[in-house]
Homo-oligomer: A and B are copies of this chain.
């Protein structure tokens, strides 16, 4: 532990990490703020509505949805509470499994989503995509794909002790 050697990061590596953090926070905050002022819709809510809109039958199991929007189960419960209170989403029982619930997008929810979508897409484009050179798209995609793959397997490795490659 005293000798870092292997773990030591170069100045460039550390700088890249910090830039990535800053970029991510900034992009996310601006996006959220734009959605909030223009449509009174938090980013997390937008993403729930978007996932539901894309899903078959405009519905998704709570558990499934929680995974997609990277929220804890309890977190999703409260978020769906709010969306349901605002009429954007309903809960429906699952026929196959009496424990299960579907979160279902209402027409009002689809409407709000449609209103907000241009803001969302424009935000992603101006805050993020515009900064990418054309050749970089492929590069980034490849890299993120690797991060993603390693992420899933890495979860198990990490839980198992994270030692050897």
Q: How long is the Cα–Cα vector from A12 to B158 in the complex, in angstroms?
A: 30
Q: How long is the Cα–Cα vector from A1 to B39 in the complex, in angstroms?
A: 14
Of A80-88, A94-102, A116-124, the segment with at least 4 beta carbons within 8 Å of chain B is A116-124
How many interface residues does A have (CB within 8 Å)? 56
Question: Closest approach, in angstroms, between the C-beta of A115 and any C-beta of chain B?
Answer: 9
Contact of A9 among B4, B12, B129, B158 (CB under 8 A): B129
Q: Assess whether A15 is in contact with B141, with CB atoms less than 8 Å apart.
A: yes
Copies in the complex: 2
Mark each residue of chain A from 5 to 34: 1 if its CB lies under 8 Å from any CB of chain B, else 0: 001110011111101111111111010001
Chain B residues contacting A145 (CB-CB under 8 Å) are 19
Chain B residues contacting A55 (CB-CB under 8 Å) are none
Q: Assess whether B8 is in contact with A121, with CB atoms less than 8 Å apart.
A: yes
Q: Which of A4, A14, A17 has the most CB of B within 10 A?
A: A17
Nearest B residue to A1 via CB reads B114
